[in-house]
Amino acid sequence: MIRRNTIPFGPQHPVLPEPIQLRLVMEDEKIIEALPAIGYIHRGLEKIAEKKDFIQDVYLAERICGICSFMHSQNYCQGIESLMNLTVPDRGRYLRTIWAEIHRVHSHLLALGLLADSFGFENLFMQLWRTREIILDIMEQTAGGRVMLGTCCIGGVRKDISSAQATVVLRQLDQVQKECDEILPALLNDYSVKQRTVGVGVLPRDKAHELGAVGPVARASGIGMDYREQGYAAYPDLGFKKVVETAGDCYARTLVRVKEIAESIRMARLALEKAPQGPIAVPFKGNPTGEVLARIEQPRGELNFYIKGNGTRNLERFRVRTPTFANLPPLLHMLTGCQLADVPVIALSIDPCISCTER
Amino acid sequence: MATMLSNIMKNLGRKAATRLYPFEKRELPTTTRGHLDIEIDKCIFCGACQKRCPTNAINVTRDPKTWAVNHYACIVCGYCVEVCPKDCLLLRNEHLPQP
Amino acid sequence: MLTNVTEIPVTQLHGEVWALKQQGYRLVTLTCCDLGDAHDILYHFDKDYTLKHLRLRLPRGESLPSITDLFFAAVLVENEIQDLFGVTVAGMVVDYKGRFLLSEGAPVAPLNKPIGIGIDIRAKAPVAEGGKAS
């Protein structure tokens, strides 16, 4: 007779970077059922957005997440721009792409480092984060903040990258590429890493679709869904190629991220070289009216903002659906039937960001 | 296995990635947004920065003429610097010391 | 701009969602807006980057039928709507009973609009002595 136990995993746990509790119903070492409990850091961001005016909300949107901050403000600006029929100048589109792709590299390196930490490979974790430091330096030089860039504004961007800065950034991206080429094979080919990730937390394609998985989680299960294909910002000019894997396990999700780092560095370099000269932003007048569901591809997946304006300076409703919110139901499916020791690896393989999930 | 080993060997030959912080400080780029400062002589106390500030960190009064920023609330976004009609606000690149 | 919106009554919700599921749509999310006397609930679906929306007008006090039996992905967002808007969602697979995002002692239905402000058509509620209308 096997006894059932419930183990609370989190909200404070050595490997979890953010507060989420997973209530695991166990039979011996096997997980029968998993349920998330969130609400530890609900900040009421959607309510504040209604009280501030829509230009101030750009800075608010940027602070939804501390890792992929630029893309939140980019998505918000794209949503408002579509409500107000604004066209962003070419240079503005390119600069947005450059910062978004640099941000993606930094987010993926962070996620891979945390994954390495989750199975106790601390050396690799430190090395990946050392590489990430170069990216943070790039962002500080070009935008002024290491994580909160604050460069996106409605109608374009607020800061330009001069050609002297671009040369430095290209050189630093070379360095990032070189270090990634050294370290990432160690992550992919290591025997002990493969033991911990291959075949663990499998999410089949049909389940991924049914449970609404997005981003690297969906792409690792064989669903070729990447909103960059639809060509916002400067992606149509850069020859974007999406990365799709079919295995659906933790290793495939890692592989997707590793390949996306290379693709992002390539696109950031190309955009820096190809960016046309010209204005970086268009002026605008008036207030947004109407409703829109703005979408963007973030490092963790597809981000949706529902924005409803009523012709005043304040928004009627601002709703945020972050990728981790969509990836939690697939996570519950992955956890069911796995071993307790694999929970940290599986939880971190979806790259959870609970702060943006709760807003 | 061998790839990680070669990385470790390379690291032995490299100089340290960290620095001895309190003695050796990082040089900040000129673009860093450190903290908000004002050239108070140029200010006309119009209150444009107070109205636009996303976090209500700035407090301006016309009579008596005062301008104050709450550095704990300020997110150093630079929006006030853009809207200032007299260009008297500026972002300095060094961070404020801990009080 | 939001295009491809179908307005449906509450009774047809299950049938429409089932039809969309059969066509291979993926649930993106739900959005709830407070309209004063009713809640405006939008269901967003996606298939090959094409969005489709179902719009539901739910009068205040009525409960919303859950679609978690069709799309388990809706379980978190339905609990969130129940917490933040005070809408009762009936028949959820996992029901957190209003303690999903909010804890004990938190404001009740914080995302509803305050009475008598903005688009709200209801008369402004009388302010209680010494208290605030909220």
The interface pTM score, or ipTM, of the predicted complex is 0.84
CATH at residue A328: 1.10.645.10
pLDDT at position A307 over 60 = yes
Q: Do chains C and A touch (3 or more CB pairs under 8 A)?
A: yes
Low-confidence spans in chain C with pLDDT less than 50 = 119-134
Residue B50 lies in a domain: yes
Q: What is the pLDDT of residue B56?
A: 86
B-chain CB neighbours of A59 within 8 Å are: 54, 75, 77, 79
Query: Measured between alpha carbons, how far apart are the two ends of chain C, in Å?
Result: 32
Tell me whether the omega of the peptide bond preceding residue A19 falls within 30 degrees of 0, making it cis. Answer: no
Distance CA B51, CA A313 (A): 13
Give the residue among A288, A305, A283, A261 at the shortest CA–CA distance from A74.
A305
A211, C73: Cβ pair inside 8 Å? yes
Give B6-32 as a 3 state SS string: HHHHHHHHCCCCCCCCCCCCCCCCCCC
Q: What is the pLDDT of residue A21?
A: 87
Residue A37 lies in a domain: no
B88 touches chain A (CB under 8 A): no
CA distance A13 to chain C (A): 20
Residue A11 lies in a domain: no
Q: Which residue of B has its CA nearest to A149?
A: B77
B75, A133: Cβ pair inside 8 Å? no
**CA trace torsion A48, A54, A56, A59 (10° rounding):** 80
C33, A317: Cβ pair inside 8 Å? yes
Between A302 and C118, the higher pLDDT residue: A302
Q: What is the pLDDT of residue C116?
A: 54
Residue B9 lies in a domain: no
Q: DSSP string of A289-357?
A: EEEEEEEEEETTEEEEEEEEEESSSBEEEEEEE-HHHHHHHHHHHHHTTSBGGGHHHHHHHT---HHHH
Relative orientation angle of helices A163-189 and A250-274, to the nearest 10 degrees: 160
Q: What is the pLDDT of residue B1?
A: 58
The number of domains in chain B is 1
Report the half-sphere exposure of A351 (CA within 13 A, side-chain side). Answer: 28
CA distance C123 to chain A (A): 19
Residue B16 lies in a domain: no
Relative orientation angle of helices A90-118 and A250-274, to the nearest 10 degrees: 150
Give the number of A-B residue pairs with CB atoms closer than 8 Å: 57
Its domain, for residue B56, covers: 29-92
The partner residues of A306 in beta bridges, in order of sequence, read A293, A319
Burial class (CB in 10 A: 0-12, 13-18, 19+), C76: buried
B33, A190: Cβ pair inside 8 Å? no
Q: What is the pLDDT of residue A1?
A: 63
C119, A316: Cβ pair inside 8 Å? yes
* pLDDT band, very low/low/confident/very high, at B35 (cuts 50, 70, 90): confident
Residue B68 lies in a domain: yes
User: Quick one: average pLDDT of B38-42?
Assistant: 87
H-helix or E-strand containing A45? helix A45-51
A144, B52: Cβ pair inside 8 Å? no
Residue A44 lies in a domain: no
Contacting partners of chain A (3+ CB pairs under 8 A): B, C
C119, A310: Cβ pair inside 8 Å? yes
Residue B11 lies in a domain: no
| Selected residues 41-80 of chain A with any CB under 8 Å from a CB in chain C | 42, 44, 46-47
**Structurally, what CATH architecture does the domain formed by C5-90 represent?**
2-Layer Sandwich (3.30)
CA distance A146 to chain B (A): 8
Closest by Cβ to B77, choosing from A59, A127, A140? A59
Tell me whether the omega of the peptide bond preceding residue A11 falls within 30 degrees of 0, making it cis. Answer: yes
Q: Mean pLDDT lowest for which of A176-180, A188-192, A296-300? A: A188-192
Average pLDDT of chain A, as a whole number: 87
Kindly state the percentage of chain A with pLDDT values over 90.
11
Give the number of A-C residue pairs with CB atoms closer than 8 Å: 79
CA distance C12 to chain A (A): 21
Q: Which residues contact A41 (CB under 8 A, 6 or more apart)?
A: A18, A19, A354, A355, A358
Distance CA A192, CA A200 (A): 13
Q: Mean pLDDT lowest for which of A68-77, A153-162, B6-15? A: B6-15
Three-state DSSP at A244 gives coil
CATH at residue B77: 3.30.70.20
Closest by Cβ to A186, choosing from B4, B28, B78? B4
Q: What is the pLDDT of residue A109?
A: 92
Kindly state the percentage of chain A with pLDDT values over 70.
100
Exposure string (b/e) for A42-63, b if CB count within 10 Å is 16 or more?
A: bebbbebbbebebbbbbbbbbb
The number of domains in chain A is 1
Give the residue among A291, A265, A334, A313 at the shortest CA–CA distance from A31.
A334
CA distance B31 to chain A (A): 5
A-chain CB neighbours of B11 within 8 Å are: 127
Q: What is the pLDDT of residue C117?
A: 54
The partner residues of C34 in beta bridges, in order of sequence, read C39
- Which stretches of chain C sit within 8 Å of chain A by CB? 1-2, 24, 26-29, 31-33, 42, 44, 49, 51, 53, 71-73, 75-77, 84, 94, 99-103, 110-111, 118-119
Residue A17 lies in a domain: no
Q: Which residue of A has its CA nearest to C40?
A: A317
Residue B67 lies in a domain: yes
Q: How confident is the model over A107-130, as pLDDT tens digits?
A: 999 999 988 888 888 888 888 898
Q: What is the pLDDT of residue C121?
A: 46
Report the half-sphere exposure of A12 (CA within 13 A, side-chain side). Answer: 0
A252 touches chain C (CB under 8 A): no
Q: What is the pLDDT of residue A265?
A: 92
CA distance A55 to chain B (A): 9
Q: What is the pLDDT of residue C127?
A: 46
User: Quick one: average pLDDT of A204-215?
Assistant: 88
Tokens of C50: 């094409």
Contacting partners of chain B (3+ CB pairs under 8 A): A
Closest by Cβ to A127, choosing from B7, B31, B79? B7
CA distance A252 to chain C (A): 22
